[in-house]
Amino acid sequence: MFTGIVTDIGEIVALTPVAQGQLHRLRIACRYDRATIADGASIACNGVCLTVVASGVDGRTWFEVDAAAETLAMTTAKFWRVGTRLNLERALRIGDELGGHIVAGHADGIASIAARDDLPDMARFELRTTRELARFIAAKGSVTLDGVSLTVNTVDDVKFSVLIIPHTLQVTTLGDWHAGGEVNLEVDLMARYAARLSEMK
């Protein structure tokens, strides 16, 4: 489990397609202490929970993960290349502060950026998702975009907007977002469970 509070920005320094392109081995450079990264650990990369299969130090700390066929099909991982920057978050530990909201690290799909409006020190983004996922998104509710816990400002059918504060623009990759781009979307788990319960009545 995660909180949607990014703790580092990693960079893909190597990408190796294997198994006829159905699996990508990624090497990601980061600022984490190598001694704290164990094989088998979970790290959310742009909101996608991936398992560490190797780690080391080569000037910078690095760790390797495998992105399998389902991940490549359902997320923006299919577009990642050497040089791609990723929002990183370590798995939540008992006793950690829950600063965002409960995030599984299982992206539900991809949202497209319909518009970007730059404001003084802030940015407002309008995004579009599928009708299936839009029913789980509510104004003032939570949503995870590229691994970042955000509050939904407005909802209009399959479109919704978020306002990004200066701190978030500085410590995540969201400042690089542009109209026409695509991001990983995870809807709020509570909203999903509530919808499921209402369907069973």
> Mean pLDDT throughout 153-182?
97
* pLDDT at site 201: 61
Domains in the chain with CATH codes: 8-90 (2.40.30.20), 109-199 (2.40.30.20)
* pLDDT at site 102: 85
> Mean pLDDT throughout 68-88?
96
* pLDDT tier for residue 168 given thresholds of 50, 70 and 90: very high
103 φψ region: left (φ > 0), alpha (ψ -120 to 50), beta (else): beta
- SS3 at position 29: strand
Which residues make beta-bridge pairs with 126? 115, 161
pLDDT digits (tens, 9 = 90+) for 122-152: 999 999 999 999 999 999 999 999 999 999 9
* pLDDT at site 1: 87
Q: Are 30 and 8 in contact (CB under 8 A)?
A: yes
Is 194 a residue whose pLDDT tops 90? no
Higher pLDDT, 102 or 146: 146
Is 160 a residue whose pLDDT tops 90? yes
Question: How much of the chain exceeds pLDDT 90, in percent?
Answer: 83
Q: What is the average pLDDT value for the chain, to the nearest integer?
A: 93
* pLDDT tier for residue 72 given thresholds of 50, 70 and 90: very high
Cα separation, 158 vs 178, in Å, equals 19
Q: How many CB atoms lie within 10 A of CB 68?
A: 14
- Looking at residue 36, the DSSP 8-state letter turns out to be G
- Dihedrals φ, ψ of 178, to 5°? -150, 160
- Dihedrals φ, ψ of 99, to 5°? -85, -20
* pLDDT at site 193: 66
